Amino acid sequence: MIRSDGLALPLIVWLSSFFLGQRPAAHPGLPKRIPVPKYGFSVERPDAWRARVWWKDGLPIFVNFPWSEMGAQLTLPEGGASINLISFEDAHRRRRRDDSLAGWANFDAALAAPGTLASAPLDVPAPTGISEALLTSFNVATFSRDDQAQRHVSVYWAYRKEKFAAHLFYVVGDPKGASYGNVLRQVVFSIRPVA
């Protein structure tokens, strides 16, 4: 998606590369707890969700629908939701003035429809090893009647001097939206350090 001012949105570009070309490796029989050796943690796959692992860094992507149902231009099927874990280094290859979690969240919030942005610190259980976390949510701005209105809920977190985000997407107005938010928190709260 390109904003009306011509600014390419890095999150959408990254997701487009996933869904339209550089697909993560499918792992039949992927375990419930997915190791991410590059960053020294593991994360649990939510019950009844499908998982794939981004081949480059081992971060998982979860969906609650068959992969084949992902629509053109990243449209979600009815009742569909996705949770994408991404590292700061992959999301923001170019240097920015503010590399903090709040700065990353504010940059992503450029997608927000007016009046829909909410942001607050998130308390995360100590066993995760996460030192700081921020929860944001907003409706993604649409630019034509054909655009699917999506809700974007994210947890940005710091872990061992690295920064990550878990991005949840679902269709605005989905009656299961609150439960998807709970699944997102479950995913982040399931993170555990590994040796």
Which domains are present in the chain?
A: 10-193 (2.60.120.1690)
Q: Over 90: is that where the pLDDT of 5 sits?
A: no
Tell me the whole-structure pTM to 2 decimals.
0.83
User: Edge-to-edge strands of the sheet including 130-139?
Assistant: 25-26, 50-53, 60-63, 81-87, 162-171, 150-159, 130-139, 118-121
Q: Are 164 and 88 in contact (CB under 8 A)?
A: yes
Residue 40 CB coordination number (10 Å): 14
- Looking at the DSSP bridge assignments, the partners of residue 50 are 63
28-77: pLDDT as tens digits:
467 899 999 999 999 999 999 999 997 678 999 999 999 889 877 778 99
Confidence band of 95 (pLDDT split at 50, 70, 90): low
Confidence band of 97 (pLDDT split at 50, 70, 90): low
Name the phi and psi angles at 92, rounded to 5.
-135, 80
Top pLDDT among 194 and 5 is at 194
Angle made by CA atoms 104, 10, 156, in degrees to the nearest 5 = 30
Please give the pLDDT value at position 141: 87
Mean pLDDT for all residues in the chain: 84
